[in-house]
């Protein structure tokens, strides 16, 4: 029997981060609402207590340097280690990929949260308008819901595209087979049933016999 876990949708990387920190007060979560020009960012601890209210960060190298500096200042003030800091936002758009990649290159854990899940979280969060998106993202991150795959490009991206393409091809093949089944059953009832003919449907022999002669 396949094993199941009620926490199967949680990120093991974030779970491990909380465990190694030893206390939720020693964890810093940095939810980000990505935008083309200015990201909206907030600091909170593992309990969800807001350490710094939402503020804007430029989507530039200077913005990365600024957020890095502000995070480390806040960590020193509260005795939080860098390895117990993690960032997160909705699935990264093209305009935020460089920003996220640079954060990862600096040694920070960055998670992507599902946009649909974030939307559901926003519907249940009581907050002012400018905080709703961040609160929804923060709620998912603090529940360890996120994809921390270090690369959403290159080999990982190619594999994902190939899997999606294969899934579409299988779906198209199934649709074609269903149409052929309908036509053959109308013209030669039972021909595609192996127990009737001894021929496996859609094998080379089966296709040969169905060729237009």
If asked whether residues 119 and 67 sit together in one domain, one would say: yes
Q: Domain for residue 84, yes or no?
A: yes
More confident residue, 17 or 6: 17
Q: For residues 63 and 38, what is the distance between their CA atoms, to the nearest angstrom?
A: 9
What's this model's pTM, rounded to 2 decimal places?
0.65
If asked whether residues 146 and 162 sit together in one domain, one would say: no
Which residues of 34-72 form beta strands (DSSP E)? 38-45, 50-58
More confident residue, 50 or 156: 50
If asked whether residues 124 and 196 sit together in one domain, one would say: no
If asked whether residues 107 and 194 sit together in one domain, one would say: no
* Domain-terminating residue out of 101, 125, 151: 151
If asked whether residues 141 and 184 sit together in one domain, one would say: no
Q: Domain for residue 7, yes or no?
A: no
Nearest CA to 90 out of 110, 72, 70, 60 is that of 110
More confident residue, 23 or 187: 23
To the nearest whole number, what is the mean pLDDT of the chain?
Answer: 83
Q: Domain for residue 2, yes or no?
A: no
If asked whether residues 145 and 186 sit together in one domain, one would say: no
Q: Domain for residue 6, yes or no?
A: no
Number of domains present in the structure of the chain: 2
pLDDT at residue 125 is higher than 60: no
pLDDT at residue 130 is higher than 60: no
Q: CA angle, 99 as apex, 93 and 100 as ends, to 5°? A: 75
More confident residue, 211 or 172: 172
If asked whether residues 117 and 30 sit together in one domain, one would say: yes
* Domain-terminating residue out of 121, 151, 181: 151
Q: Domain for residue 4, yes or no?
A: no
pLDDT at residue 156 is higher than 50: yes
Which CATH number does the domain housing residue 81 bear?
3.30.420.40
If asked whether residues 189 and 128 sit together in one domain, one would say: no
Q: Domain for residue 5, yes or no?
A: no
Report the range out of 39-53, 114-128, 148-162 with the highest average pLDDT. Answer: 39-53
Q: Domain for residue 103, yes or no?
A: yes
pLDDT at residue 185 is higher than 90: no
Find the domain containing 83 and state its range: 12-151
Confidence grade of residue 3 (pLDDT, cut at 50, 70, 90): very low
Give the per-residue SS3 of 118-147: HHHHHHCCCCCHHHHHHHHHHHHHHCCCCE
């Amino acid at each position: 029997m396949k094993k199941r876990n009620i926490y199967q949708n949680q990120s093991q990387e974030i779970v491990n981060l909380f465990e190694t920190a030893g206390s939720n007060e020693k964890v810093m979560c940095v939810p980000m609402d990505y935008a083309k020009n200015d990201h909206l960012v907030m600091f909170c601890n593992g309990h969800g207590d807001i350490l710094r209210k939402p503020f804007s960060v430029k989507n530039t190298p200077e913005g990365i340097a600024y957020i890095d500096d502000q995070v480390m200042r806040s960590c020193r003030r509260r005795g939080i280690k860098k390895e117990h800091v993690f960032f997160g936002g909705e699935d990264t758009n093209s305009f935020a990929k460089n920003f996220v990649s640079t954060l990862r290159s600096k040694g920070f854990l960055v998670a992507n949260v599902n946009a649909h899940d974030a939307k559901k979280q926003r519907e249940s969060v009581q907050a002012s308008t400018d905080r709703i998106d961040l609160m929804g993202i923060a709620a998912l991150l603090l529940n360890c819901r996120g994809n921390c795959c270090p690369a959403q490009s290159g080999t990982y991206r190619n594999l994902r595209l190939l899997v999606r393409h294969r899934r579409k091809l299988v779906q198209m093949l199934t649709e074609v087979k269903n149409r052929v089944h309908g036509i053959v059953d109308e013209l030669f009832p039972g021909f595609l049933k192996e127990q009737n003919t001894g021929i496996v449907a859609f094998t080379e022999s089966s296709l040969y016999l169905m060729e237009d002669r």
